[in-house]
A and B are shown apart, each in its own frame.
Chain A
Amino acid sequence: MSWLGVEEWQAVLLSLKVAFWATLLSLPLAIAVAYALARGRFWGHGLLNGFVHLPLVLPPVVTGYLLLVFFGSQGLGGRVLEAVGLPLAFRWTGAVLAAAIMAFPLVVRAIRLSIEAVDARLEDAAATLGASPLRVFATVTLPMALPGVLAGAVLGFAKAMGEFGATITFVSNIPGETQTLPSAVYSFLQVPGGESAAARLVIIAVVIAMGALLLSEWLARRMARKVAGA
């Protein structure tokens, strides 16, 4: 891709990598939390719901600052992770964490809605046939909620691609390490003559976002058909 400079190319690849890992790593937890919120009756249900949605309503820079406090090289979480060989501060891994946390509420929301749409009476039927709660979840609830899980994952991926505020606050804007696509656009716009590079990145961002949405729509429809058995 000769029309893309090294730095721009790096930013695109880094964003894809960050978004991929952020989505992949947060998905199991998002499914578990969504299931707990959809079906669970426990103390602290409202609290958990509020906590999960916090990144959606907090200013991203605040989330980034909190990440810096807890997962920076002086933070408790940061020191623990550094000790096990996974430093986050000013690394692309930190960008993954920031993106995952910012995308988390959207992913949980989509999956929760799709789990709530699964007929709980089918889960009862599975239990009468001898299936333990875990098996009911794995063989009935999850397969039937799969279109929503997929939609949530794609939404999370798109959100992670575009995350800016928390990322730049937490891991800064280091080309080749933490300079994601939005950070790169921001940087190019700060220097004279950077508009054309920024424009190229903007086009790529639009193409990726649209592509992801169309793909998820297509997959979700295919799966919904399969789940409905039509």
Chain B
Amino acid sequence: MSLKVDVTKSLGRLELAARFEAPLGITVLFGPSGSGKTTLINMIAGLTPPDAGHIGLGGRVLYDSKSGVSLPTHKRGAGYVFQDARLFPHLTVEANLNYGRKLAPTPVPEPEFDRIVKLLGIGGLMARRPARLSGGEAQRVALGRALLSGPKMLLADEPLAALDGARKAELLPYFERLRDAQDIPILYVTHSVSELGRLADHVLSFEAGQARGLRRPQDVLADPGLVPGGVRGVGAVISAQLVAHHEDGLSELSAGGVPLFLPKVAQPVGARLRVRIAASDVILSRRKPEGLSALNILKARVTGLREGAGPGALVALETPAGKLQARITRRSARALGLAAGLEAYAIVKTVSIAQEDVGG
């Protein structure tokens, strides 16, 4: 079952136009604030009417301007996790969770209810009122409430944006598990590169209100025109397997047979992780470096070199671990004589892999 969207809407100065087909798994809607991401998922949820177009989920038409179909929100089967949890303040956590569950055409059975409650770790909050929950707890309850309404698709509008770093880290794994379950299309709005790196199966990127077709997360992360900060923000995502936790506080990963070290992560040995490596954290060397403090050295082949208007240059690399990006100066690029096809070594400083960029 996939979600087919082809809609337009005029938003003052912005002409929003989106055309894509989201399969199962997480499709990240990525773009700067004010690019129309939230408006788009509100149109899918039926909270905002498009000007024209078509929205279909599986075989069901949710909206079609030509035939005049527009299902009301409550018949669309869209679970929605808002940026602000929007729990009903007059109901307990348990009543919030059951609100949509009782209305579902086929209510989520008791064992599944227990499983979701356990997965989200909200079993101990049942009797509480939303006013007595922390931000992270409220957002987990909101996610549970949406999942228990038996949704045919899940829409999440920057669900972590209102949370602090620790709470973000606490909630992200739940979305990762949803991604891995791959049973409904999930649209996830964010402007965070690290959330994109960790969650995205596919990316719908917004440029001046235009969003057409899905792209691979690694391609989006490597595109200076799309990531915040331009060439400063680009990077790559490498998927790796956790091999060992070492006693000196490091965890060892294996990516395509290459060992990678990073500060200890919480996941168990054997877990599949995604590691985002920013281009500015990668150093290049033509010869295999020796006597260097950096632990992660990957043999690489240069596949592309892009010089910007400033002093920087972006080098695209192919390594056994996957594609990497390195941001170096133009001067260095010339001094090293870098060109497509050349061999080089990519050095990634261990400590530069931020904890929040590591995901399973």
Contact = CB atoms under 8 A, between A and B. Distances in A.
Interface of A: 119, 121-122, 124-133, 135-136, 139-140, 143-144, 226-230
B73 A122 contact: no
A70 B86 CA distance: 48
Name the residue in A124, A126, A128, A130 with the highest tally of chain B Cβ atoms < 10 Å from its Cβ: A128
A121 B74 contact: no
Interface of B: 45-47, 72-80, 82, 84, 86, 88-91, 99-100, 103-104, 129-132, 145-146, 149, 155
A124 B73 contact: yes
* Secondary structure call for the A interface: helix
B49 to A, nearest CB: 13
Contacts of A124: 47, 73, 86
7 pairs of A and B residues whose beta carbons are closest in the complex:
A229-B129, A129-B100, A130-B103, A127-B73, A128-B80, A125-B86, A229-B131
A125 B74 contact: no
B103 A227 contact: no
Nearest to A229: B129
A56 to B, nearest CB: 31
15 contacts: A119-B86, A121-B86, A122-B86, A124-B47, A126-B88, A127-B72, A127-B74, A128-B79, A130-B74, A132-B72, A227-B89, A228-B89, A229-B91, A229-B129, A229-B132
Contacts, number: 80
Contacts of A144: 89-90
B122 to A, nearest CB: 16
Given A127-B47, A129-B74, 9 more contacts: A125-B82, A126-B99, A128-B73, A128-B155, A129-B103, A143-B90, A227-B89, A228-B131, A229-B132
Nearest to B46: A127
B90 A130 contact: no
A119 to B, nearest CB: 8
Name the residue in B77, B80, B155 with the highest tally of chain A Cβ atoms < 10 Å from its Cβ: B80
Contacts of A121: 82, 84, 86
Nearest to B79: A128
B146 A226 contact: no
B90 A131 contact: no
A199 B174 CA distance: 71
Contacts of A230: 129, 131-132
B89 to A, nearest CB: 5
Contacts of B91: 229
A125 to B, nearest CB: 4
B45 A227 contact: no
